[in-house]
Amino acid sequence: MNQWLEWSEATIVTTRAHYVDDSSAYDRAFTRVVAVDQYTAWATELEALHAARQTGADLVLSSSEDDVLRAARIRERLGLPGQSVDSARAFRDKFVMTGTVSRAGLRTPATYRLEHPLDLLDLLDRHGRLVLKPRWGAGSEGVRILRTRAEVVALLSSGLFPVVGRSPESWLVQAFVEGEFFHVDGLMAAGTVLHCWPSRYNVGNAESVLDQQTLSSVQLDPEDAARVPLQDFTRAVISALPGPPATTSFHLEAWIERDGLATFCEVGSRTGGGGVAGVYESAFGLHLSQENLRGQAGQSAVVAEQDRLPAGIHGWTALPRGHGRFHPPETCPVEGVRYRPVLPAGAQAAGTRYAADASALVLAEGRTAAEVRQRQQEVDHWWREAGVWR
């Protein structure tokens, strides 16, 4: 990370496990390392705040979904420049986010803050199918798709919600949207899209987790009929939200419904997961995470020098975690792909926990989206036949 910025002094907050695994690399790259046991705990934000005060930090940078809002809160406490709390909340709180986009006249699913769990039964009668998700979630972790009253009753019996008398409003309910699912990735600054390109998912993120399916995506061909409408829709969404002032990466998801129009799902002010960064760099020579950090640091972006059309078509596949002990093959026999195990050999797993929760990642390229999809299908077949979980 720090090699992208070339700062003389920088502090990083990371997990103790990551630091122990590669302490020498951390010590070479950073002036100070703050190692915590549980990264998502509130104490991590407190440790980061203490470190910023002790070192007299000029800037606070974030690169992950978990850090967008808490980095903004630290900036606010210390009076530092960068993405504000209001902006960070609009890109993290799905209720605030969807409401803002809807008020701008863009199409969104019918969306409700869950005031009382029994309201799910009334909403199911009204919409037929529902999606229940955490307002501040990521990667479709914890998302439920509810199709029947029996599924709602089972959920109410599961212990998911707080006891009677306490509010469950950290949950969001949306009407289920039927359509092709896409993501649009790129760079933005001050409410303007600087560079972006859409990709088509093979399946919805929530479905990939709930059904334990392989998740993949492929960039759209330049002549794909959905390409320009999705780019235009993305520009309208980014313009509607209180965006960060500096160059920042973003990851937007949307459906194209049967009428050909786009419906908003969500957007984050950070680089998408899975193979998004690798695909974008291969296609455009832009590393989204690098430009994200450079922008937050006030350094000039290189986006103006990049082509607006991709060099070939690229896609990624997140090969899912299975059940048992991991025995990854050394190489992948499929032509035109780059294969990299994510889990170490011998690791134990108990299934996919969130979207793009991969055991291995494969990047594929080709002349067309159809050629890339064919290679992804060959990879998926090879993986299932390889017997990697035993």
The per-residue pLDDT for range 118-153, each reduced to its tens digit, is: 999 999 999 999 999 988 877 777 889 999 999 999
Overall CATH class of domain 180-385: alpha beta
Mean pLDDT of the chain: 92
Q: Does the pLDDT value for residue 334 go beyond 90?
A: yes
pTM recorded for the entire structure: 0.93
Q: Does the pLDDT value for residue 116 go beyond 90?
A: no
Overall CATH class of domain 110-175: alpha beta
Q: Does the pLDDT value for residue 59 go beyond 50?
A: yes
Query: 249-265 in b/e burial notation, b at 16+ Cβ within 10 A?
Result: bbbbbbbbeeeeebbbb
State the pLDDT at residue 205.
82
Tokens for 375, please give them: 């290679």
Local confidence band at 221 (pLDDT 50, 70, 90 cut-offs): very high
Structure-model confidence comparison of residues 7 and 145, the more confident one: 145
Half-sphere exposure of 114 (CA within 13 A, CB side): 28
Query: What is the DSSP code string of 131-187?
Result: EEEETT--TTTT-EEE-SHHHHHHHHTTT-SPPTTS--TTEEEEE---SEEEEEEEE
Question: How confident is the model over 30-40, as a mean pLDDT?
Answer: 92
- CA neighbor of 271 nearest in space, from 184, 205, 353: 184
User: In what helix (H) or strand (E) does residue 210 lie, and over which residues does it extend?
Assistant: helix 205-210
Surface-to-core class of residue 294, CB atoms within 10 Å of its CB (0-12 exposed, 13-18 middle, 19+ buried)? buried
State the pLDDT at residue 4.
75
Local confidence band at 165 (pLDDT 50, 70, 90 cut-offs): very low
Structure-model confidence comparison of residues 52 and 213, the more confident one: 52
Q: Where are the beta strands (DSSP E) in the chain?
A: 11-15, 32-36, 111-113, 130-134, 144-146, 171-175, 180-189, 192-201, 215-219, 248-256, 262-268, 313-320, 323-325, 337-341, 348-350, 358-366
Q: Where are the beta strands (DSSP E) in 159-270?
A: 171-175, 180-189, 192-201, 215-219, 248-256, 262-268
Q: Does the pLDDT value for residue 167 go beyond 90?
A: no
State the pLDDT at residue 215.
92
State the pLDDT at residue 307.
78
Q: Does the pLDDT value for residue 162 go beyond 70?
A: no
Q: Does the pLDDT value for residue 160 go beyond 90?
A: no
Q: Could you tell me the CA-to-CA distances from 139 to 13, 131, 194, 241 in Å, in that order?
A: 22, 14, 25, 21
Tokens for 70, please give them: 């808490």
Q: Which residue is associated with the tokens 């469950």?
A: 168
* Segment 254-303, tens digit of pLDDT: 999 999 999 999 999 999 999 999 999 999 999 999 999 999 998 877 77
Q: Does the pLDDT value for residue 5 go beyond 80?
A: no
Q: Does the pLDDT value for residue 168 go beyond 70?
A: no
- CA neighbor of 360 nearest in space, from 326, 311, 315, 334: 326
Share of the chain above pLDDT 90, in %: 76
Tokens for 254, please give them: 């949307």
Question: How confident is the model over 68-79, as a mean pLDDT?
Answer: 96
State the pLDDT at residue 218.
98
Local confidence band at 166 (pLDDT 50, 70, 90 cut-offs): very low
